[in-house]
Structure 1
């Protein structure tokens, strides 16, 4: 699937992908983890990869197996800083409600919800792979 790298198109795309994965047999106990990580990753593309450049498309490919799911997200925006996946350290919370950060938890959530994350930049294209393992329930 591919869609324009805008907030509205990303939201529609994430919802469609979630429905499609559910229809293809994504285990219900993993559905919310997958949707959260997918939304965080795609929103990062929209907000950061295409910051300062004309937005293009976000392409998403999924491969669902009985025990795992791999999602490949591709875009032609700016590369990740340092050409690597951020470590996923959450933003400091501060000492009061007024000091709570507005963001800074996306990569932390992605790291927590996935089994493996891989990133490469090749020929002007970012490729982010998110793997979710779900051993068979007994």
Structure 2
């Protein structure tokens, strides 16, 4: 899993498994840092990447053999665009979840294990878009930012 890099683009493809996803997220985060992603954006980007990629591993390939996850990152002066592609199952209803967090108004032992990922992704990104095209899921994440002095 060697990323393809140029001045503004970073591409990485890896098998949709937990171990490979974890390594891929770490490589992408390091590569974006090397390409000049502002430090104040690094954590937000890593969290959103991890949530989105882990959703692919856990849900898109649920019940089918995992294939590859392709991630393309394009870093511009004041924004980062990330495209995550896979050939797994489509999103339910072919649309993004609404991003409403799971309720925490319950007893401690009844707290949900999940249900916060899409809420986090929505909160951390400037824009998010999903499409299913020719058997491929395409999730686009955009992060707008101002360069800090």
Equivalent residues in 2 for 1:85-100, closer than 5 Å: 85-100=96-111
- Structure 1 outlier segments of 4+, above 6 Å: none
Q: Once the 2 structures are TM-superposed, how far is the Cα of residue 35 of structure 1 from its aligned partner?
A: 0.2
Q: Which residue among 16, 24, 32 is the counterpart of 1:5?
A: 16
- Separation in structure 2 between the aligned mates of residue 33 and residue 105 of structure 1, nearest angstrom: 15
Structure 1: 5+ residue runs without aligned partners?
none
Q: Which residue among 10, 23, 37 is the counterpart of 1:26?
A: 37
Structure 2: 5+ residue runs without aligned partners?
1-11
- Separation in structure 1 between the aligned mates of residue 107 and residue 133 of structure 2, nearest angstrom: 43
- Separation in structure 1 between the aligned mates of residue 126 and residue 44 of structure 2, nearest angstrom: 11
Q: Which residue among 85, 90, 97 is the counterpart of 1:79?
A: 90
Q: Which residue among 21, 30, 35 is the counterpart of 2:46?
A: 35
| TM-score, normalised via structure 1 length | 0.97
Equivalent residues in 2 for 1:1-138, closer than 5 Å: 1-137=12-148
Aligned residues: 138
Q: Once the 2 structures are TM-superposed, how far is the Cα of residue 95 of structure 1 from its aligned partner?
A: 2.4
Deviations 1:86-127 (A, max 9, x none): 110000113221111110000000000000001110110000
Please provide the CA RMSD for this pair: 0.8
